[in-house]
Amino acid sequence: MAFSMRQKVLFKHCDPAGIVFYPRYFEMMNDCVEAFFDHIGHPFEELHTKAAVPTAQIETTFTAPSHHGDMLDIRLGCTRIGTSSLGIAWHGSADGETRFTASATLVHVGQNGRPLPWPAPLRNTLELHLEGAD
């Protein structure tokens, strides 16, 4: 996975057990997708003026807990590109220990909520970042 984002585990992410409350991980994964689209020159704020990219399916394994202050390295790879879909995989770690792995399918939809083919320039760019699932 070629793209990565660092995210310190902040106070707001943690629950009474002192570890990341798992819905917060999904916010981080979403932030990571947004940072990736920034990185490839198609920022979410532009994409979302005429379309949206909801998540159709996601599966996650939380391998080890993360504590307040841990520095997470969240890696992201594109695993497949369909007409209007995109497969994403994430790998989150800290201090060399895997904390979570996840994979999802995003769908590019129009303002009516129906699938909409990726615009050609975006699709071409995404294809450059396609990696095998790992």
- Sole residue written with tokens 């129906």: 114
Q: How near is the Cβ of 107 to its own copies at its closest, in Å?
A: 9
Span interacting with its own copies, options 45-53, 76-84, 91-99, 125-133, rule CB under 8 A: 45-53
Q: Which residues contact 51 (CB under 8 A, 6 or more apart)?
A: 108, 109, 110, 111, 116
- Asked if residue 65 binds its own copies (CB under 8 A), the reply is yes
Span interacting with its own copies, options 9-17, 75-83, 86-94, 119-127, rule CB under 8 A: 9-17
Q: Which residues contact 22 (CB under 8 A, 6 or more apart)?
A: 60, 62
Choose, by CB under 8 A, the member of 30, 79, 85, 125 that binds its own copies.
30
- Asked if residue 115 binds its own copies (CB under 8 A), the reply is no
Span interacting with its own copies, options 7-15, 74-82, 86-94, 116-124, rule CB under 8 A: 7-15
Is residue 80 within 8 A of residue 122, CB to CB? The reply is no
Residues found near its own copies in the complex (CB under 8 A): 9-12, 14-19, 21-24, 26-27, 30-31, 34, 43-46, 48, 52, 54-62, 65, 67-69, 113
